[in-house]
């Protein structure tokens, strides 16, 4: 899935202060022997970082009020001082819904500069408003082995209803379509059945193929229905399918599939079978690990299916993470446990929904998945070392207490949620190059798809 990421740059500066000629403070300062303890002792203390400074007089304190340091010969540019903290808004644009050619804004402010003294903290209110009208890209990846014939028919029958349903939550949605079966190799196919693998079922179907991309993401629902209707059902021997080959190609072939840069990306894998994993290719003599490149030929077919082994779940997990694609396994109840185990290994990027025998509940599954995405936000940052960021929110509960949390559930589009963010610094880093740092706070939205439908 893709997220809109509006980032914060927190520029943390440990900087100058003005000092009073205060004997008391001087006494506090001069006993400090490190920059760190000097900065922490008092905001009036300055630290002379000039190497040659203390060579003149043994015992001359490096930590002192700046006027004294200068009087003792410390060049003023070499004096490090701490300040009282401050927060400055550098960029604070208004929220922006999703409009063509406009970058949506969901976090406010966007850029701030914070000055922090060691052992101090600053609190800033950050507001989050889920933008309306998020684009949704839904790639429908269908197992088209023989037993899925009725599911295909259901989907054709539901086509327009699907368009209407999706249209109620975003008018920015696109549908794409691909299908998969298995590697066209023995033992996934009976010898002699290459041309019609459904002979055993006393039926006729198309030759076995691995993955075929039928339709690039588009708002044209009529085309989607047509493409699903025109796709060929095929057949293979067992109930294990090469779906993961299809997942990989549909993810990495960005140009052919047409994934939107800023859209939420959902891939729905509809199947009544199980999956082949890395290592299973050996049965058909396929031992090479795949390289996760796009290999679609001019017919949209995966052309290296008989050269590369199936991917492993670890590889799929990394792939989904890096391409921000969310997988929904829409599967039969009898496979639920198996796919839940798979989804667990794929972490938050995959979810399982139960498909009825003829896929008649597919719309509910899609709708739920979409709403689950908008319903949760997590704020994350890359703070390190002694710089610490904590989040507090009532998650939109009227008059509710501020709880220490960086995530809120059940968010509604267009509503504003407040986070009080506490920035603190435990100590002054010894390495001066770390005194000015840039941090990034970003929002991540996730699908938590656990509903049994």
Ligand X SMILES: *[C@@H]1O[C@H](CO)[C@@H](O)[C@H](O)[C@H]1NC(C)=O
Instruction: Using CB under 6 A, list all residues that contact ligand X.
Output: 5, 7, 51-52, 55, 154, 156-157, 225-226, 229, 356-358, 360, 382, 384, 431, 433, 437-440, 442
CB of 431 to ligand X, least distance (A): 4
Nearest to 396 by CA among 380, 381, 379, 410: 410
Give the up-direction half-sphere exposure of residue 396: CA atoms within 13 A in the CB hemisphere.
Answer: 18
CB of 105 to ligand X, least distance (A): 14
Given the complex with ligand X, which of 68 and 152 has the nearer CB atom? Answer: 152
Residue bearing tokens 């599967």: 331
CB of 224 to ligand X, least distance (A): 11
Q: Is residue 145 a contact partner of residue 240, using CB atoms and an 8 Å limit?
A: no
Nearest to 327 by CA among 241, 275, 268: 268
CB of 149 to ligand X, least distance (A): 12
Given the complex with ligand X, which of 342 and 366 has the nearer CB atom? Answer: 366
The Cα diameter of the chain in Å comes to 102
Q: Is residue 62 a contact partner of residue 54, using CB atoms and an 8 Å limit?
A: yes
What is the per-residue DSSP string for 275-329?
Answer: E--TTGGGGGT--BPP-----B-TTSBBTTTTTBPPPPHHHHHHHHHHHTEEEEE
Given the complex with ligand X, which of 49 and 394 has the nearer CB atom? Answer: 49
CB of 192 to ligand X, least distance (A): 28
CB of 328 to ligand X, least distance (A): 20
Given the complex with ligand X, which of 17 and 165 has the nearer CB atom? Answer: 165
Q: Quick one: 407 exposed, middle or buried, by C-beta within 10 A (0-12, 13-18, 19+)?
A: middle
Contacts 24+ apart (CB under 8 A), 92-101: 95/127, 95/129, 95/131, 95/416, 96/131, 97/131, 97/132, 97/133, 97/414, 98/4, 98/131, 98/132, 98/133, 98/134, 98/135, 98/172, 98/262, 99/133
Q: To the nearest 10°, the Cα dihedral for 412, 445, 362, 314?
A: -170
CB of 358 to ligand X, least distance (A): 4
The alpha carbon of residue 225 and the mean position of all alpha carbons in its chain are separated, in whole angstroms, by: 30
CB of 265 to ligand X, least distance (A): 14
Given the complex with ligand X, which of 244 and 389 has the nearer CB atom? Answer: 389
Q: Quick one: 263 exposed, middle or buried, by C-beta within 10 A (0-12, 13-18, 19+)?
A: buried
CB of 370 to ligand X, least distance (A): 22
CB of 114 to ligand X, least distance (A): 14
Given the complex with ligand X, which of 110 and 290 has the nearer CB atom? Answer: 110
Given the complex with ligand X, which of 156 and 237 has the nearer CB atom? Answer: 156
Rounded Cα gap, residues 212 and 190, in angstroms: 21
Given the complex with ligand X, which of 15 and 156 has the nearer CB atom? Answer: 156
CB of 385 to ligand X, least distance (A): 8
Q: To the nearest 10°, the Cα dihedral for 334, 337, 342, 347?
A: 130
What is the per-residue DSSP string for 17-82?
Answer: ------HHHHHHHHT--SHHHHHHH-TT-EEE--TTGGGSSTT--SEE-HHHHHHTT--GGGEEE-
Rounded Cα gap, residues 330 and 21, in angstroms: 73
Given the complex with ligand X, which of 172 and 359 has the nearer CB atom? Answer: 359
Q: Is residue 37 a contact partner of residue 451, using CB atoms and an 8 Å limit?
A: no
Given the complex with ligand X, which of 57 and 171 has the nearer CB atom? Answer: 57
CB of 9 to ligand X, least distance (A): 7
Rounded Cα gap, residues 95 and 177, in angstroms: 34
């Amino acid at each position: 899935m893709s997220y809109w990421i509006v980032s914060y740059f927190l520029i943390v500066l440990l900087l100058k202060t003005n000092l009073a000629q205060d004997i008391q403070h001087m006494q506090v300062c001069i006993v400090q022997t490190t920059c760190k303890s000097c900065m922490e002792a008092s905001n009036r203390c300055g630290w002379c970082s000039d190497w040659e400074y203390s060579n003149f007089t043994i015992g001359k304190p490096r930590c002192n009020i700046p006027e004294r340091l200068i009087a003792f010969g410390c060049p003023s540019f070499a004096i490090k001082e701490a300040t009282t903290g401050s927060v400055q808004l550098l960029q604070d644009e208004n929220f922006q819904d999703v409009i063509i050619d406009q970058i949506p804004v969901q976090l406010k402010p966007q850029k701030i500069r914070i000055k922090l003294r060691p052992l101090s903290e600053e609190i800033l209110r950050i507001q989050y408003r889920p933008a309306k009208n998020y684009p949704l890209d839904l790639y429908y990846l269908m197992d088209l082995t023989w037993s899925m014939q009725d599911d295909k028919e259901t989907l054709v029958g539901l086509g327009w209803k699907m368009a209407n349903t999706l249209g109620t939550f975003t008018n920015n949605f696109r549908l794409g379509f691909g299908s998969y079966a298995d590697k066209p190799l023995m033992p996934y196919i009976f010898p002699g059945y290459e041309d019609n693998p459904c002979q055993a079922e006393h039926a006729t179907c198309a030759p076995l193929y691995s993955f075929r991309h039928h339709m690039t993401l588009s708002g044209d629902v009529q085309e989607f229905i047509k493409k699903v209707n025109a796709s060929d059902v095929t057949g293979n021997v067992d109930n294990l399918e090469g779906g993961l080959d299809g997942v990989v190609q549909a993810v990495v072939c960005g140009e052919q599939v047409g994934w939107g840069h800023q859209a939420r990306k959902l891939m729905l894998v509809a199947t009544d079978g199980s999956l082949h994993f890395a290592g299973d290719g050996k049965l058909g003599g396929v031992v090479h690990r795949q390289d996760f490149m796009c290999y679609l030929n001019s017919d949209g077919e995966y052309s290296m299916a008989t050269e590369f082994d199936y991917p492993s779940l670890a590889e799929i997990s990394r792939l989904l993470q890096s391409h921000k694609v969310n997988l929904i396994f829409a599967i039969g109840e009898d496979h639920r446990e198996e796919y839940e185990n798979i989804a667990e290994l794929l972490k938050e990027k995959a979810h399982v929904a139960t498909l009825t025998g003829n896929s008649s509940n597919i719309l509910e599954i899609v709708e739920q998945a979409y709403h689950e995405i908008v319903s949760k936000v997590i704020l994350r940052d890359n703070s390190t070392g002694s710089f610490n960021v904590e989040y507090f929110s009532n998650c939109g509960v009227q008059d509710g207490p501020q709880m220490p949390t960086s995530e809120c559930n059940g968010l509604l589009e267009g509503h504003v949620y407040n986070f009080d963010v506490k920035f603190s610094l435990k100590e002054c880093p010894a390495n001066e190059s770390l005194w000015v740092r840039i941090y990034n706070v970003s929002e991540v939205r996730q699908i938590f798809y656990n509903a049994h439908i």
